[in-house]
Structure 1
């Protein structure tokens, strides 16, 4: 039987999602869990595939993996989570067709990037988003891979203020390497007034204009959803979702306190006499 899982993880401690020798990765931890439970013998024979890669420090709420197993009753989130570290967990499961491929079958993907607003002009940001939506050549927005098409279709970009933070949600049929983080850099440049909309239009015409853009930091990026429409019938694991919420609340308290501790180290303005 072929089983698909939705996986969430906090990527701060990992060298990306894809397994690599000698370093800690998300897939490496998942392989260890599945093999220790004898759900799979090895990733190759189980035809293990994920919906895509995330870079070092990038997080996910809706990464999807699929594999073959002859022990489907064990291949459930709460069992698998017992062998995973606390910052990686499965939370939904589906039995899928034998040819299901999480990457090729995806209709679209959505990522969220969270960043300080830096007094960006929200109207300029939304105007830039309108330009980026649709099919374009994003060669100036990625690390180029010779021979691979750089044309992608962005279905929607939504930018919202949340206190002093910006939440940027991007949905596309697929993404190029570093594409989202470079889009964030471009949006912030336009939103701050450092660049204008004419420059953005030029960036989308790489045949006549080329400029290197530094990607935004990875820690603000989250893969929120991989969409398969009605072709996959997910069954959420309520117990796993409750346990993950408890862990996240503990993690949140820790970082709230740590942020306050770090604030104590900042130089203080002298009091006026």
Structure 2
């Protein structure tokens, strides 16, 4: 039997998260159903089916990872032809029998902020988060250890001008998003989305940097801070890396997924145009 790791891309909009749940559509359930259907796996225990992370409902991915063993050679595009368009396998790698995707060397999350925020203040906040801290205030669950290390945070404003030139003129009034890329070995549940709430509060002057420091250095027996999570639909699990494992991306699979994303973007563009037209018509009616 060969053990294989697969890198999964998906649009989280129509999924109730990654993890299997009774009577709900999830990414894991879709993957297991189609792998069984194509005779790659049968019994989950015997196939040693494992996942790297459980993203919440609405969260997207370009790099979540699963692994399993099978007597059948893995053919990415055979699986993709069976899978629905909003979930596709992008890359594969042969791995050792004991490989567990949960234990990664590096994870990269990207959160997109659609507000006119002070970039310099965001970067000052990011500098405080870098390094090892107690993230008790940044998770909903009580865990054995809440100490985590943030290796890097990169912040940049995305220019929509290229998209205007590529046939999406109706995006001209859309606020250019700010990309916040966060790198670390592991993250707590809701950690990134709670971090983003603090970033925004700092950027709009609702919170100062001393308060951020206190949140990252909670005193013993101090009650947990009530930080409201930011929206899940603006979060993307960009990549997961492992020491000594190099994934091979399938050109056709990546192009196919990109094409599906472009098609859905075109549909969103049409919806935007319809609503824009209705708003303008209502304004014109009001002026009559």
**TM-score per shorter chain, which class?**
over 0.9
Q: TM-score, normalised by structure 1?
A: 0.93
Whether 1:150 aligns to 2:162 is no
Return the offset for 1:141: 1.0
Q: TM-score, normalised by structure 2?
A: 0.88
| Superposed counterparts of 1:118-267, under 5 Å | 119-145=116-142, 147-163=143-159, 164-207=176-219, 208=222, 210-229=224-243, 231-266=244-279
Listed one character per residue, the Cα deviations across residues 163-188 of structure 1 (whole Å, up to 9, x for unaligned) are 43111100111000000000011000
Listed one character per residue, the Cα deviations across residues 229-270 of structure 1 (whole Å, up to 9, x for unaligned) are 4x1132221221221121111011111222232334558667
Return the offset for 1:45: 1.8
1:8 corresponding residue in structure 2: 9
2:31 corresponding residue in structure 1: 30
Q: Distance in 2 between matches of 1:80 and 1:113?
A: 29
Q: Distance in 1 between matches of 2:272 and 2:43?
A: 41
Q: Distance in 2 between matches of 1:221 and 1:51?
A: 17
In the alignment of these two chains, the number of paired residues is: 267
- Show structure 1 runs of 5+ residues with no match: none
Q: Distance in 1 between matches of 2:266 and 2:67?
A: 33
Q: Distance in 1 between matches of 2:108 and 2:132?
A: 16
Return the offset for 1:22: 1.1
Q: Distance in 1 between matches of 2:258 and 2:274?
A: 24
Q: Which structure has the highest helix share of the two?
A: 2
